[in-house]
Amino acid sequence: MSMNASNQDVTKLASVSPVDEQLYNELKLEDFARLFGTTVNGIPQDCRELISKNDFRYRKLNGGERDQVLLSVLKRIDSGQFTQAGKESKTRWEKGWAENLRSFIEQSHDLSKLVPKFLKPAQPLRIYQDYAMPADPNFEFNWYDVFRHWLFRTYLKDVETVYEFGCGSGYNLAVLAQLYPDKRLYGLDWAAASKDTVNELGRTYGWNMLGLIFDFFAPDWSIKIVGNSAVLTIGALEQTGRDYESFLQYVLECRPSLCLHVEPIVEWYDESNLIDYVAVRFHRARKYWEGFPNRLRQLENEGKIEILKTCRSYFGSLYHDGYSYLVWRPKAKA
């Protein structure tokens, strides 16, 4: 998943020189609260420390720079070069997660080697429905690190077990293990390399976690979810397109205490906004998941689940906003 030439051109175009210092904006604590869908008081101390130690300055792109980024993105969408989500993409993900596993082992189990290759540094970002160029090349990952610490502190503190489905390289589980050493963690993915990475993490660091093979499209019903547990997906269910019903029925039958999904959600874009409209085109070109929020509302109207929180996060990478989230739980059977 290396950066292609068009992305390199965009990065070069939108780079910021030191003389542009006065043009920078900066994400403040209030911005993080707004983007997370919480209040300033809802940001815990460890998240505040992560915010203060990183550089969250950015420059909003205007005029010709903005037009060139838009043009580059639209040309890439129209080129048909993007791979598409679905059952046929398993081999690609197996290869990608195997690369992370190999780097992790070869580099003395350095946790930074678990960062997925699709988190590309030094690219324009999407902030508040517009394009911006960050001062720090690792702005997106640093933002995401604050976000996942907040998310895990807010929603997973009271459960005893967490099941991350589509766990990929295991880099979210590594954070969970450090935040909650007493919780039991499961990393589930259809790629064998993901299972091996999770088990390697457990052996190396003594963390209470286990890797398992699991396919969204053909759930293994023999894998049982224990009581007082949470189901977690982060940028994983997007790969199911409209073929998520089998997994949803599996979760409904298992009845976890909480379900937390962090995914790009096409229904929440505003197509009257140009930047959002481009994200919708990208989303559908990739055939990412669609229809899930409406399906949850249908289940809630039928009295089968309770939706606890929905939040669009107005932050994302070059192509889309990938950090919106839904929180829900199945209701007990009558």
Phi, psi of 287 (to 5 degrees): 60, 45
* Side-chain-facing half-sphere of 326: CA atoms under 13 Å: 24
Single-letter amino acid, residue 105: I
Predicted local confidence at residue 14, as pLDDT: 47
Residue 310 DSSP symbol: E
Kindly state the percentage of the chain with pLDDT values over 90: 84
- Predicted confidence band of residue 82 (pLDDT cuts 50, 70, 90): confident
* Side-chain-facing half-sphere of 226: CA atoms under 13 Å: 9
- Is pLDDT of 255 > 80? yes
Q: Which residues contact 334 (CB under 8 A, 6 or more apart)?
A: none
Distance CA 134, CA 14 (A): 9
Residues 121, 50, 160: CA angle, nearest 5 degrees: 105
Predicted local confidence at residue 120, as pLDDT: 81
- Is pLDDT of 12 > 80? no
Single-letter amino acid, residue 203: R
Q: What would the DSSP string read from start to end of 127-181?
A: ESSSEEEESSTTHHHHHHHHHHHHHHHHHSTT-SEEEEET-TTSHHHHHHHHH-T
Residue 2 CB burial class (10 angstroms; 0-12, 13-18, ≥19): exposed
121-137 per-position pLDDT tens digit: 889 999 999 999 999 99
16-71 per-position pLDDT tens digit: 444 455 678 999 999 999 999 999 999 999 999 999 999 999 999 999 999 999 99
**184 bridge partner residues:** 161
On whether the CB atoms of residues 237 and 261 are closer than 8 A, the answer is: yes
211-248 per-position pLDDT tens digit: 999 999 999 999 999 999 999 999 999 999 999 999 99
Q: What would the DSSP string read from start to end of 233-295?
A: EES-GGGGTT--HHHHHHHHHH--SEEEEEE--GGGS-TTSHHHHHHHHHHHHTT---SHHHH
